[in-house]
Structure 1
């Protein structure tokens, strides 16, 4: 017992001597010693710890682009690996079956197996890098904040298996699942906590090219152009151009510009991104949104003539210094000095996305702008090579009317076709106005429905029934007669000089 006490006393004396010696050392020695200890301790712990981990963050370090591997892991976890999690999230699916979408909740861990290797996944929430310190925010978001991430833990002997086979297999399964469950989406941008982001809903446009009321030759030309673009990856690579194409749809309101976009999306099976410039803080946010769009997508800016894009302060000062003279090419559009919407996005920033350095980020994208006043757009925006095709959607004429009659009334010919065609050529009537006149009234639809109920069977089985054909013909006669009277009235009003 006495010997043990003596040992502890000796150990205490030795430690006191070490402490005294440490205090006598110069400060730079302290710093070097701390650096060596801080380096050796993790190395020693890593040597004895048999497990390693891989972090899959939701965004990259620069926070500029979403990490696709994070989405791949999320899809993989939701589809096949949720056993063992005590807390899950459920959202309503927009599919036809309305099945709930189950996903992993934050701070939950699940296990997985691959080729005999056991791994563990955990979804980690957002966290501050410097806990306890004051966080500086930039544009409403934390400047020093760790994004959400998946943490993958595995035994170090499975390192090569995880990196070279397991993670690539997750990516392959993700691509297969995306292809199998592919549904067109309509995206719109908005601000969440000061950060621009996309939100989306399922998009199933009812209109196709068969429903578009326009010149047949022009329609075939557009379809052939879209087909050539979709199949043109090798060509664009050969000539050294970004795989993209620009369309400008212009014409009076009601001529089918939005319908054309839906038909293009249906034909190509592309997603649509409806870009609202007025809700974007500046060019940096515009680039971020562009980088988050997917390949095989249509990026739409509607009514580009109704958006007022601000000049930067430097350009404003330069213009004022020149007595009001300046380069108006930097202003996108300003209609009658009426502020319809403002954006801090500059024309040069928008053009850089479309046709500059950033246009090479991503592929198989189509830009579609719409306008009611093509003559008021900046020439830099619609020059050849930037807007590859300018498509005029004009008033309804005889050929377009026959297409609408076929769609709405299911007739190819009628005694009133000739007169209505001449009236359409003499008046400026939009396809939307003609379509409204050709829609069967509720009472006509109800009457036809009652006939079908009385006869029984599907419409295809009773198409030759004289009674049903008579009812449909009478409804078509009423619609065409109403359209003729509307066109006559419009012709008289246009011929009457204003008082």
Structure 2
């Protein structure tokens, strides 16, 4: 009976409070709601002992991918994937027996660090129209980026911030260095946005195999070595840690091969930038910021791109009234600053090579290639933009000997003197010479495999026959090359018919 009376009294009190509330002014209602909405999260957080850290796929720099997201993804895939029930797999590094295992979206895994328990979950990309309340880091993006969320007890806060997350980054760097696969990137447009895609990149050429003058090759290797060791120097003089190389020469002289040799020597990824697929300077800026440190950024045939960008911008009219010469090449002045948001401009391009944006990142190599260096404006290739100019010239005798060693496995032959004289008298590219040094019979690697698999007595017989065949191949290839060079010499000395 007493308990019933208590409830009746409580009900009467609540009714009185409700009546009093209804008679209060509206501004009092608003202030009360504001106080309650502020106090509820504080009260909830007081009773909730867990905290969380969100790691978005893109950082607060708006254009740049968040490297911490990649670090966490790699760490969880290697350390915590065994405790997940949903995984994704794809082939890695072109090796069919080593799939790359990663967490699937909305999958939660647990990790332990120095006795502390933590939980990770990968949240998928979410659409704004589904009521997800987050802040987009990509301007104009209708989707929110993916993110990892780390949950831990509040008493482990300092451990997570000062020890656990740094250990995740260290683990990521060690795994990346151990399993590093060089990649070749190219840009394309998807949903009106420019982005990079990549494939594994294993260029076969090294500097030892490169057909060019040994002194010039030695000079390039020394320059690249100085660049690799130049972090302290660039920091001391206040320069961005980058270097520009201009490779120029006729088609077939090995410019692309040189880029592959540089990538092998440095261990860098290569970004092949196709400016015709970039919509405007903003897209170009995003692409540049999405490149990684320790990379080679290549723009091939820069002379043709200079013409295209300028004619697109001015409709075949040179900037500042500069004239268009007979071969439809536009000579431009780079002091003319354009900021047209609807297209890529040369000033926008050069701001990454030698401008404000060139300092966003470090240890980068910029490579321009051209077949016509005389057509380029000096401002485009001045020191600071293209620091080193490398002429990829025609094949001469020293370069030929490297090709003969690589293709025919010979270092001397009776025809070498004649070939050396003919190469000095003609302008023949290394690509043309190499094409004439390829044996047309069974490939040498196939024969070598047969020798390895055959019994000893059979292998000895095969080895002798293989040596005879190789000598015949060398004779035939060199004789054919002599005839080709003689024909080229006659054509070069024959006056043109008017």
Q: Are 2:38 and 1:39 equivalent residues in the alignment? A: yes
Aligned to 1:397: 396
- Secondary structure of the 1:281 match is coil
Aligned to 1:185: 183
Give 1:109 shift.
Answer: 0.6
- After TM superposition, the structure 1 = structure 2 runs for residues 168-247 of structure 1, keeping only pairs within 5 Å, are 168-247=166-245
> Aligned to 1:18, which of 5, 17, 20?
20
Aligned to 2:373: 374
Deviation string 1:393-419 (CA, Å, 9 cap, x unpaired) is: 111122211221121111222221122
Give 1:173 shift.
Answer: 0.8
Give 1:328 shift.
Answer: 5.7
In structure 2, runs of 5+ residues without a counterpart are: 331-341
Pair 1:395–1:63, CA change in 2 (3 A): same
Aligned to 1:469: 467
Take 2:374 and 2:392, find their aligned partners in 1: how far apart are those partners? 15
Q: Are 2:483 and 1:495 equivalent residues in the alignment? A: no
Q: Are 2:90 and 1:91 equivalent residues in the alignment? A: yes
Take 2:418 and 2:250, find their aligned partners in 1: how far apart are those partners? 24
Take 1:234 and 1:75, find their aligned partners in 2: how far apart are those partners? 30
Pair 1:175–1:433, CA change in 2 (3 A): same
Larger mean CA deviation between 122-131 and 223-232 belongs to 122-131
When normalised by structure 2's length, the TM-score is 0.87
Aligned to 2:270: 272
Check conservation: 1:306, 1:334, Cα contact below 8 A.
no
Pair 1:441–1:119, CA change in 2 (3 A): same
Runs of 4+ in 1 over 6 A off after TM superposition: 446-451
Pair 1:325–1:43, CA change in 2 (3 A): closer
Deviation string 1:348-392 (CA, Å, 9 cap, x unpaired) is: 111111111111111111111111111122222101221111111
Take 1:496 and 1:266, find their aligned partners in 2: how far apart are those partners? 43
Take 2:450 and 2:418, find their aligned partners in 1: how far apart are those partners? 31
Check conservation: 1:82, 1:110, Cα contact below 8 A.
yes
Take 2:390 and 2:314, find their aligned partners in 1: how far apart are those partners? 34
- After TM superposition, the structure 1 = structure 2 runs for residues 412-431 of structure 1, keeping only pairs within 5 Å, are 412-431=411-430
Pair 1:112–1:393, CA change in 2 (3 A): same
Aligned to 1:432: 431
When normalised by structure 1's length, the TM-score is 0.87
Take 2:282 and 2:292, find their aligned partners in 1: how far apart are those partners? 18
Deviation string 1:226-261 (CA, Å, 9 cap, x unpaired) is: 111111111112222111110000111100000000
> Aligned to 2:156, which of 155, 158, 172?
158
Give 1:450 shift.
Answer: 11
Take 2:455 and 2:429, find their aligned partners in 1: how far apart are those partners? 39
Q: Are 2:48 and 1:49 equivalent residues in the alignment? A: yes
Pair 1:437–1:463, CA change in 2 (3 A): farther
Take 1:211 and 1:448, find their aligned partners in 2: how far apart are those partners? 22
Larger mean CA deviation between 6-15 and 280-289 belongs to 6-15
Check conservation: 1:59, 1:65, Cα contact below 8 A.
yes
In structure 1, runs of 5+ residues without a counterpart are: none
Supply the RMSD in Å over aligned alpha carbons.
Answer: 3.4
Take 1:280 and 1:251, find their aligned partners in 2: how far apart are those partners? 27
Give 1:280 shift.
Answer: 1.3
Check conservation: 2:120, 2:148, Cα contact below 8 A.
yes
Check conservation: 2:106, 2:124, Cα contact below 8 A.
yes
Take 2:343 and 2:327, find their aligned partners in 1: how far apart are those partners? 17
Pair 1:220–1:327, CA change in 2 (3 A): farther
